[in-house]
Structure 1
Amino acid sequence: MADYLNVFSAAVLGFFFFIVVTFSEGHKVPGIYVFGDSLVDVGNNNYFPTLARIDYPHNGIDFPTKIPTGRFSNGKNAADFLAEKVGLPTSPPYLSTLRPMLNKNNPSFLAGISFASGAAGILDITNLGLTISMNKQVEYYRTVYGEVVQQLGAIEAQKHLSESLFYIVIGSNDIIKYFNQFNIKLRPEEEFVDSLILTLKQQLKQLHNYGGRKFVVVGTGPIGCIPFERHKNKALECRQEVNSMSLKFNEGLKSMLQELKSELKEINYSYFDSYNFFLNFMQKPASYGFAEVKVACCGVVLDLDPKNLCRLTSSYCSNRSDHLFWDPYHPSEAASSIIVDHMFGGPLQYSFPFNVEQLIAL
């Protein structure tokens, strides 16, 4: 993405720190800083020209405002539900803060900010079209870090950030693109996964260098079971080769997080096993209130193209809450809510070495 977005930052970002957010008893953490892809994008892609945007009906049909917001969902997504768990407003899109017409007294940077962008990947070559890559998200965060230090002073800024959550949801687009773009698939699988893990490790280290201490990291789900992949065979079966790469990535991710903890003693993390949790949805759907786990509520599946997302011309199911998937790629609001419930305070069957609630208490 063109760096024209940075032109506004020096003049505008300082305005958003005019009022200091007080870490009140109603907040379990002072802020949530969100990085990743469309699973947690709350509208960043609305602010630049990209095909990977979703600010049109029927998306948002179950959001409190009943209008599309840029979330790849029929309503709220995981970022919204995590914010609710800790008593904070949803971290707003970073790019919205570069708009001079917004209230200059907006305190949102200290309560958190979202850099997540639909179609983003860990690697620059695996971003699906024009988006904010993970590398770019980290770069934007460094700008925010400088503003936090300017506002609070170095010591208070470090305290503020060390108590905040750094929420990371990334990797799915890298895997999807590996199996759907010929030039990338020329690379051996093991080499490709290793490059993802090594690059993400460096990105997390940069966040640590700029204050990050408590990381919530979500593994990739069984991507071979999303409707987009299932529709590649008549029986709507999961694509096991895609799931196999998800498992390899997740194993590498867990090992990398343990290495980081060994290298950087002051960090702590909560890893959520999205893969096995989603398998539970699919194997025991009725236990979670789902009736359909293979077919999306809205949108069609033809090829790897944004036109397959839910659009105004698409038909959609009347009971969104009984569908695991809203569109061919993304979970429904109901699924996101259940996931965050377990990620936050659920048993350690799916969280390692702590759930989010335990991580906060450290």
Structure 2
Amino acid sequence: MASNVFLKFFLFFILAVFYLSFNSSEAQMVPAVFVFGDSLVDVGNNNYLPISIAKADFPHNGIDFPTKKPTGRFSNGKNAADFIAEKVGLPSSPPYLAVKSNKNKASFLTGVSFASGGAGIFNSSDQSLAQSITLTKQVDYYGTVHKDLVQQMGPSAAQEHLSKSLFAIVVGSNDIFDYSGKSDLRKKSTPEQFVNLMAATLKGQLKRLYGYGARKFVCVGLGVIGCIPAQRIKSQTEECNEEASHWSVMYNEALKSMLQELKSELNGMTYTYFDTYSVMQSIIQNPTPQGFTEVKSACCGLGRLKAKVPCIPISSVCSNRSNHVFWDLYHPTQATARIFVDTIFDGPSQYTFPINLRNLIAA
């Protein structure tokens, strides 16, 4: 009798373990997420750059993060990188500079973030912010991670692991800000020449990632840059800076063409392009359905539109962050970032080209 009870218990235990392992693997949709880019997806790398002024490791940043503490994210809470990780059943990819000295290289297995506030496609884009990890350097760092993974897993297993992983690239805004603010850049090239060079330079970096095993790319277009609070306060009427927004559109077109080219050149490369511009414009023009009531002013800052002074500890902060599109003078709120990622993941071809993220994972 006792042996039967034991046998039943043992079988129940085996079934429970099988059930839990099956469900956890089902929840995790990809092996890893590797993130490259700027402050829109920085999860704390700039905390480790001693002279950088592009930091968010102080209040009121992080006020709605689970820990209620600033983490280095330029947000009241989670950013797009966090929500992508959530969607695919993984923890947020940690900042590379926080884990690179960790002797346990297994921390790289589910991905890592190289994103850095102030970074651009061109290495010169962060000069006014003193220091960031340039995109070139971010890809260099990924090269060392690739080497570690190959040593850990073996070449064949590492390639299989990476071919199913996601490589998210969110970059380009700082290059447009740079072009907008520097007359010498505008003298050297027309806007069209500049954005075409941005796309061509990014293409080179994506090819490097491909050489290191990347196959599935999530490439995010620029938003309506002219409508951020930092641009609106340049006008007495607080209207959007149409010129800056037009440059975003031009770059997005160049980016889309470049990605189509790249797919035809690189065997096995797949991607989703997210039209941030259209989604953001839709929210700004018709905010109510998404729960927003404030589309012009930042939530955290001082002065007109809370955009004269950035979000620092002495800044005022709005009580309802979920009804603001913008957290500070440059960055979206957690609520806006969540909508972006929901759309990337399951959105129609109107916003995700040629496929959405769910279909990219399945491809």
Structure 1 pair 246–181 and aligned structure 2 pair: CA distance change class (3 A): same
Q: Which residue of 2 is the match for residue 254 of structure 1?
A: 256
Cα separation, 1, equivalents of 2:302 and 2:159: 47
Instruction: Please give the per-residue CA displacement for 1:157-210, whole angstroms capped at 9, x wherever unaligned.
Output: 000000000000000000011111233232221221121111000000000000
Q: What does residue range 329-348 of structure 1 map to in structure 2 within 5 Å?
A: 329-348=330-349
Q: Which residue of 2 is the match for residue 43 of structure 1?
A: 44
- The match for 2:216 among 202, 211, 214 is 214
8 A contact 2:75–2:327 mirrored in 1: yes
Cα separation, 2, equivalents of 1:308 and 1:218: 28
8 A contact 1:301–1:328 mirrored in 2: no
3-state SS of the aligned residue for 2:199?
Answer: helix
Q: What does residue range 17-166 of structure 1 map to in structure 2 within 5 Å?
A: 24-49=25-50, 50-100=52-102, 104-105=103-104, 107-127=106-126, 128-166=129-167
Alpha-carbon offset, residue 298 of structure 1: 0.6
Q: Which residue of 1 is the match for residue 294 of structure 2?
A: 292
Instruction: Letter of the 1:42 partner, please give it.
Output: V
Alpha-carbon offset, residue 126 of structure 1: 1.3
User: Identity over aligned residues, as a percent?
Assistant: 57
Alpha-carbon offset, residue 99 of structure 1: 4.1
Alpha-carbon offset, residue 265 of structure 1: 2.6
8 A contact 1:60–1:68 mirrored in 2: yes
Greater mean alpha carbon deviation, residues 342-351 or residues 155-164? 342-351
Alpha-carbon offset, residue 125 of structure 1: 1.4
Instruction: Please give the per-residue CA displacement for 1:76-110, whole angstroms capped at 9, x wherever unaligned.
Output: 0000000000000000000001345xxx4463201
Cα separation, 2, equivalents of 1:200 and 1:174: 12
3-state SS of the aligned residue for 1:42?
Answer: coil
Q: Which residue of 2 is the match for residue 283 of structure 1?
A: 285
Q: Which residue of 2 is the match for residue 224 of structure 1?
A: 226
| Consecutive unaligned residues in structure 1, runs of 5 or more | 1-22
Cα separation, 2, equivalents of 1:144 and 1:107: 10
Higher helix share: 2
Instruction: Please give the per-residue CA displacement for 1:322-350, whole angstroms capped at 9, x wherever unaligned.
Output: 00000000000000011100111122210
3-state SS of the aligned residue for 2:325?
Answer: coil
Instruction: Please give the per-residue CA displacement for 1:51-72, whole angstroms capped at 9, x wherever unaligned.
Output: 0001000000000000000000
Q: Which residue of 2 is the match for residue 313 of structure 1?
A: 314
TM-score by length of 1: 0.90
8 A contact 2:309–2:315 mirrored in 1: no
- Count, aligned residues: 334
Larger Rg: 2
8 A contact 1:300–1:328 mirrored in 2: no
Cα separation, 1, equivalents of 2:61 and 2:289: 26
